[in-house]
Every structure is written in C-alpha cells, then in structure tokens.
Amino acid sequence: MAFPVSALEILRHACGDRAEDVILGAGLHEGVGAVATGLVHEVVPLDGVVARAIEVAEGLGGINPEAFRLAKAQLHRPAMDRIAAAASVDAAVQRVWTAPETIAAVQASLDRTVRR
C-alpha cells in the first residue's frame, strides 16, 4: 500500500533501516517484534501501562522544555524537509487509499485481525 509522504517519513524515522521491511512486508507487528522494528519503544504488561506512562512522563517533564523542543526539531528536520519536498506525491497516494479495492483490502485485514 502506498503511504502519504508524512506517514512514510514517520515510519522511516521510527524504524530506521527496518522501514522498508515494515512498509513493504505489510505485516502486523506485535510485542517484541514491534520493538525490534522500531514501531514501539517498549512493551509493558497491560496492568503496568499507566504506571509506566506516568514514569516516562515524569522523566520527560524534568527536561528543559526549550531544549527538548529544539532537540526534537533537529532530529525531525531531515524528515520534515523530505515531507515538504514531496508534498505533490500525496495526491496520487490519496487516489490509491480511496480506491474501492484498497478500502476492501484494509477491511479484510481488519476483519482478520479482529478474529485472532
């Protein structure tokens, strides 16, 4: 499936050299596999999610906000530049995403996922 440029760049940023495998492989990634591909940072047992989220938020809250903002801007700059440069691609991607066969394929994938 084709991706909007912004989504592709987010995946490229998150997954690094695994982005191509994630995008072209079109598989579902859960647990340790999602960590290995860079889709998530960590997997936490359901009963520990809130406590871990609070712990992470408290850690991030201790960082100087301006320094954090600037560091994020620097890290994201290459992706933002690629998004801006390729914005015209998204019109073609939108046609693919809204095509009846794409909608049917996404629905079939969701149906398979729900049945698991």
- Average pLDDT along the chain: 84
- Look at residue 115 in the predicted model and tell me its pLDDT: 65
Distance CA 14, CA 82 (A): 15
Comparing CA positions, the residue from 11, 2, 9 lying closest to residue 83 is 9
Comparing CA positions, the residue from 109, 79, 65, 67 lying closest to residue 9 is 79
Per-residue buried b or exposed e for 86-100, using 16+ beta carbons within 10 Å of the residue's own CB: eeeebeebeeeeeee
Question: pTM for this one?
Answer: 0.57
Mean pLDDT for the stretch of residues 41-64: 92
Confidence class for position 50, pLDDT limits 50, 70, 90 = very high
Query: In this model, does residue 44 exceed pLDDT 70?
Result: yes
Query: In this model, does residue 100 exceed pLDDT 70?
Result: yes
**Domain residue spans in the chain?**
5-115
Mean pLDDT for the stretch of residues 36-57: 89
Percent of the chain clearing pLDDT 90 (strictly above): 26
Mean pLDDT for the stretch of residues 19-43: 78
Query: In this model, does residue 1 exceed pLDDT 70?
Result: no
Confidence class for position 111, pLDDT limits 50, 70, 90 = confident
Task: Collect all residues with Cβ–Cβ distance below 8 Å to 53 and sequence separation of at least 6.
Answer: none
Amino acid identity at 54: I
